[in-house]
């Protein structure tokens, strides 16, 4: 299959980000230059700045590179006709969207380790990560609101995303543990089943 120009650009951005994280983990942000990243990627300095505003942003990565348009469309189309209130499969579909995101970025223990090491060495990256997290939460809340027909920033949309984030964070920790043998979607499913048990018990009281 012939890859589009946008796909190739996304691939190159991810490669630059992976290399920038490895360098940051070992040498810190001051331990390498934009030229080092350009040489690794085989691009000019001018081209680099078409991809990222600077080194810090290269380490964080481009948010859009983790978005799977087909998965987003499937999520938006996931509400069945005739449903009143919130879709019963909303959380399940949110986790499917999260799984697609991690598949796109190729989450592995090695890549995650490089990222965490980079953030540990350069704490100011954590501030950018927090801003990225807020951006992600707003984006996902917008998707939920669009799908479910809710007004912007509706409490139900925000809580659905918050619950999904909690499940994802717990699942990713297990996925990245050395003794894990399960796939990320499998862990998502087990976490979701546990959450359903808790909510079902609460509703019975």
CATH number, domain at 188? 1.10.357.10
Q: Which domain holds residue 13?
A: 1-61
Q: Is the domain of 134 the same as that of 74?
A: yes
Residue range 89-97: average pLDDT? Answer: 96
What is the structure's pLDDT at 68?
Answer: 85
Average pLDDT, the chain: 89
pLDDT-derived band of residue 124, with 50, 70 and 90 as boundaries?
confident
What is the structure's pLDDT at 87?
Answer: 95
pTM of structure: 0.82
CA–CA separation, 167 and 185 (whole Å): 11
Q: Is the domain of 84 the same as that of 44?
A: no
Selected residue with higher pLDDT from 73 and 68: 73
User: Does residue 55 register a pLDDT over 80?
Assistant: yes
What is the structure's pLDDT at 2?
Answer: 64
Q: Is the domain of 179 the same as that of 128?
A: yes
Q: Is the domain of 56 the same as that of 114?
A: no
pLDDT-derived band of residue 127, with 50, 70 and 90 as boundaries?
confident
Q: Is the domain of 125 the same as that of 30?
A: no
pLDDT-derived band of residue 88, with 50, 70 and 90 as boundaries?
very high
């Amino acid at each position: 299959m012939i890859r589009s120009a946008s796909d190739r650009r996304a691939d190159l951005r991810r490669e630059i980000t992976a290399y920038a994280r490895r360098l940051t983990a070992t040498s810190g942000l001051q331990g390498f230059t934009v030229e080092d990243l350009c040489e690794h990627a085989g691009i000019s300095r001018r081209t680099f700045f078409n991809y990222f505003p600077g080194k810090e942003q290269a380490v964080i990565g481009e948010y859009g590179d983790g978005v799977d348009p087909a998965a987003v469309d499937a999520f938006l189309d996931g509400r069945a006709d005739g449903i009143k209130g919130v879709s019963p499969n909303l959380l399940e579909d949110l986790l499917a969207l999260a799984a697609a995101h991690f598949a796109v970025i190729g989450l592995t223990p090695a890549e995650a380790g490089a990222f965490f090491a980079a953030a540990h060495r350069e704490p100011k990256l954590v501030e950018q990560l927090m801003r990225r997290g807020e951006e992600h939460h707003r984006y996902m809340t917008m998707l939920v609101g669009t799908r479910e027909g809710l007004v912007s920033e509706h409490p139900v949309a925000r809580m659905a995303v918050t619950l999904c984030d909690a499940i994802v964070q717990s699942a990713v920790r297990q996925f990245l543990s050395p003794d894990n043998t399960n796939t990320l979607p499998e862990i998502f499913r087990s976490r979701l089943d546990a959450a359903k048990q808790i909510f079902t018990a609460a509703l019975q009281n």
